[in-house]
Amino acid sequence: MSELTIWTYDWVPEGPRGLVRDLRLRWACEEAGLAYDVRTVPFDERQTNHLARQPFGQIPFLDDGGLQLFESGAGLLHLARQSDVLMPTEPAGAAETLQWTIAALNSIEMVTVPWWFLTISGQADNPLTGWMSQRLGQLEDVLGQRQWLAAGRFTVADLLMADVLRVPLVRAFGQRPATEAYVARATARPAFRKAHADQISQFEQADAARAG
Amino acid sequence: MSELTIWTYDWVPEGPRGLVRDLRLRWACEEAGLAYDVRTVPFDERQTNHLARQPFGQIPFLDDGGLQLFESGAGLLHLARQSDVLMPTEPAGAAETLQWTIAALNSIEMVTVPWWFLTISGQADNPLTGWMSQRLGQLEDVLGQRQWLAAGRFTVADLLMADVLRVPLVRAFGQRPATEAYVARATARPAFRKAHADQISQFEQADAARAG
């Protein structure tokens, strides 16, 4: 049995399939060649059934030989210290990778998630659109000048940033050709494609189990 | 001259004084006993004058002997690796500290900042209030059971979480006695008080220089 276990839901509706955040940890393990298992908690009553392990009722959480972490960003940074593929060990590259990983979580996703939430809630004249436009425009400028965000090569910062940006409503926001090329480049990677296919397959099998 | 330089604005209006995020890095250095200098970029025309160093026009950024990082969360995690005071070196404590640091950035601040932004924009019936109430309620449950978030003692995760929660509008949101006690406990620490006083003093001196 593997030392690494990624915990996710046992089933989700069709809408979020391919977007559930266990994919971030699967993708990282696939990039780094780290063996892992996937285990599940029940989606039904998710608000209360795993609060002891995740106080916000979210998934994923990661178990690494008994050491447990929730927050996908924390799981990614934890895995990144196990593989130079995810984060360079030399200090300048490590710092740049850390910086862009946090930027994905706290400068980009902090805008895209509430914007998306208001949009699907049917909020007229989404009041976060100006902020969204500014931040994604600044990121477009960065991505127009380089293939990957940090250290001159693909790192865990790209994995996370691309996962934030590939959400369909976010990806469709405005004309941002450098960002679109970046998302296409990241999601064409074999490690992403395997992680994505595995997540879809898991939830399809859960459909069959539910129907049966 | 110190190896560590914290970059911030040369001046800000009165409203944000005491809340500008260079305080997070000052506070961390004070807790850990790390020597540091503070240097400034012009607040006026901040949208464009330091984009080469910070693509979102934000401060702070940290210089550590020539190694540069933006994003306050990244600066904190970088500093945390230099001092056991900020983050335990033993694996379980380190993982728990990382987890709660990321939770502050991506589960709590991701809600409080857009909620606050809509509130001060005069948004009627702030559509993020339900989300805010849920997350802060879940955090209140956690803080009702422990003094500090990780490793049984104050860590950089508390520094960041308390800084997120002490924003006046956020602090005044609902009745959350355990959270209020936590914020009071964190901000009573001598390292916070020194960092806070130093930031206020810097901007007051800048007032004098502008007036002169």
Could you state, in order of their start, the residue ranges of all structural domains in chain B? 4-84+191-211, 91-189
Rounded Cα distance between A141 and A182, Å, is: 12
Give me the mean pLDDT over the A28-55 stretch.
90
For B31-88, how does the pLDDT look when each residue is reduced to its tens digit (9 = 90+)?
Answer: 999 999 999 999 988 877 788 888 998 999 999 999 999 999 999 999 999 999 999 9
**Which pLDDT band, with edges at 50, 70 and 90, does B124 fall under?**
confident
Give me the mean pLDDT over the A18-33 stretch.
98
Scored b (16 or more CB within 10 A) or e, B129-146 reads: eebbeebbebbbebbeee
For A159-204, how does the pLDDT look when each residue is reduced to its tens digit (9 = 90+)?
Answer: 999 999 999 999 999 999 999 999 999 999 999 999 999 999 999 9
Answer yes or no: is pLDDT of A79 > 70.
Answer: yes
What order do you get walking across the sheet with A4-9 strand by strand?
A36-41, A4-9, A61-64, A67-70
Minimal CA–CA distance to A24: which of A164, A143, A153, A150? A164
Residue with tokens 């539910």: A210
- The predicted structure's pLDDT at residue B44: 87
Task: Write the single-letter amino acid at B165.
Answer: L
**Whole-Å CA distances, B37 to A37, B3, B85, B163:** 47, 8, 20, 21
* Residue B58 and residue B26 in contact, taking contact as beta carbons nearer than 8 Å: no
Number of helices (H) and strands (E) in chain B: give both, helices first.
Answer: 10, 4
- The predicted structure's pLDDT at residue B1: 46
Give me the mean pLDDT over the A84-108 stretch.
97
The answer to whether domain B4-84+191-211 and domain B91-189 are alike in fold is no
Q: Which residue of B has its CA nearest to A73?
A: B102
Rounded Cα distance between B49 and A162, Å, is: 27
Q: Using beta carbons and an 8 Å cutoff, which residues of B are at the interface with A?
A: 51, 55-58, 64, 67-71, 73-74, 77-78, 91-92, 95-96, 98-99, 101-103, 105-107, 109-111, 113-114, 117-118, 121, 123, 127-128, 131, 135, 138-139, 141-142
Residue B209 C-alpha, separation from nearest chain A C-alpha, in angstroms: 32
pTM here? 0.97
Structure tokens at B67: 């190694």
Give me the mean pLDDT over the B3-31 stretch.
97
Sequence-separated (6 or more) residues with CB below 8 Å from residue B118: A127, A128, B126, B127, B128
DSSP string, A74-97: HHHHHHHTT-TTTS-SSHHHHHHH
Show residues of chain A in contact with B68, CB under 8 Å: 95
Q: Which of B24, B71, B143, B160 to mutate to test the interface with A (most CBs of A within 10 A)?
A: B71
**Contact between B103 and A71 using a beta-carbon 8 Å cutoff:** yes
- The predicted structure's pLDDT at residue A200: 98
Q: What is the DSSP letter of A107?
A: I
Q: Which of B54, B106, B146 to mutate to test the interface with A (most CBs of A within 10 A)?
A: B106
List the CATH code of the domain at A4-84+191-211: 3.40.30.10
**Which pLDDT band, with edges at 50, 70 and 90, does A1 fall under?**
very low
Q: How large a percentage of chain A has pLDDT more than 90? A: 89
Rounded Cα distance between B38 and B23, Å, is: 11
Q: What is the DSSP letter of B23?
A: H
Give me the mean pLDDT over the B185-189 stretch.
98
Residue with tokens 């849920």: B134
Rounded Cα distance between A121 and A116, Å, is: 8
Q: In this predicted model, which residue has the larger pLDDT, B212 or A7?
A: A7
Q: Which residue of B has its CA nearest to A113?
A: B110
Name A4's bridge partners: A36, A64
Fold classification of A91-189 is Glutathione S-transferase Yfyf (Class Pi); Chain A, domain 2 (1.20.1050)
For B130-169, how does the pLDDT look when each residue is reduced to its tens digit (9 = 90+)?
Answer: 999 999 999 999 999 999 999 999 999 999 999 999 999 9
